[in-house]
Amino acid sequence: MAAAGAVCLAVTAQAFAADAKTADTGVIAKAGTLEVQRGEVENMLKGLPPQARAEIKANHGIAERLVRSQLADKALMQQATAQNWAQRPEIKAQIEAATKEIVFRSYLASVSAVPADYPSDKELQTVYDQTKGQMIKPALYRVAQIFIPAPANDAKAVADGRKDAADVARQAQGAKADFTALMKKYSQDPSAQKGGDTGLIPLGQLLPEMRPVVAKLKKGEVSAPVQSAQGFHILKLVETTPQSTPTLAEVRDSLRNAMRQKRQQEAAAAYLQGLLNNQTVTVDGPALNAVVDAAIK
C-alpha cells in the first residue's frame, strides 16, 4: 500500500538503542501506537530477491526505508479501519471476489498437484528429443564499435559526422589497423575507453541498422560507417558463435518446470470437467442468448 498524506514516523537506530525495554519486545520501529516487529522485518527480507538482499546487506539504510514504508502502510490501514472502509459495498464486493478467487485457486491447486518425482529422467529425455528442434539457440555476436555522434535532426552534425566516420573507417580497415586504439581515440561511446564491446549477444539486441551489416561481417572484419538516428557506427566483429541446439543439461530445469506446469494445468482441467460429468448440466439457451445480446451491444 502507498501512504497518503504526511505521516510522522519515529524510526531511528539511536532511539531504540537507548530504549532497552523496547528492544527486548522485538519492536524494530514504531510510530505512535503502530509497531513493526522483528518477525515482520525478517519475513520481508526473506521474501526479497537475492540481489535486493545483497544491496540491503551492503547498505542498511535501504532496510530502514523499507521499515518506514511498512509503518506508513500500517498508518494508512489504521485510517481506513477507523472509517470502516472495508464495509463500503464496493469494497466488500472486491474482498468477497478476491476471497473466492484465492479459495478457488488454492483448492484447485491442491487437488491437481503434480507428483514430486514427475517428470522422470526418461520422460525428460523423451520430451527433449521431441522438442529440441524448437529450442534453437541463436547465433551470438561480439561487436566493438567506434561511435561518432550525429543526431539525425542536425544536418550539419550529420554532414560532419559522415565525413569523420568515413575517414576513421578507412583507418580501421587498414591491414595493420589497431581498432582498439582507434576506438579510444575517436569513439564517443562511454565504453570505448575501457576497450568495451557488446559481449556475446543475439543479433536482435543490436540496433536495427546494425543487424544486416553485422550478419555479413566475417570475424575481425570492420564495416563501413552505419548511420542510425544517434550518429555513425563503425563496427568490428570480434567473435561469433553459430546457431546451436542446447543440451538437455542446459534446459533441464526450464523443461522440467514447463512439463510440471503443463501436467498441473491438464489435471486441473480434468478435475473441473469431472465435477460436471458427475451431474446433469442444463443450459437455458434462449435465456443465455438474451443476456448476451443485452450485455454486448
3-class DSSP state of 209:
coil
H-assigned helices in 83-178: 89-111, 121-131, 155-172
H-assigned helices in the chain: 13-18, 20-24, 38-46, 50-58, 60-82, 89-111, 121-131, 155-172, 179-186, 211-216, 248-277, 285-295
Binned average pLDDT, 10 residues per bin, the chain of 297 residues:
41 42 70 93 92 92 94 95 96 96 96 96 97 93 96 96 97 94 91 80 96 97 96 97 95 96 96 89 92 91
Global pTM reads 0.60
Residue 285 one-letter amino acid: G
Write the CB contacts of 78 (distance below 8 Å, at least 6 apart in sequence).
Answer: 34
What is 140-241's CATH number?
3.10.50.40
pLDDT at 25: 60
Write the CB contacts of 177 (distance below 8 Å, at least 6 apart in sequence).
Answer: 171, 222
pLDDT at 297: 79
User: What are the residue boundaries of the structural domains of the chain, listed by start?
Assistant: 13-82, 140-241
pLDDT at 7: 40
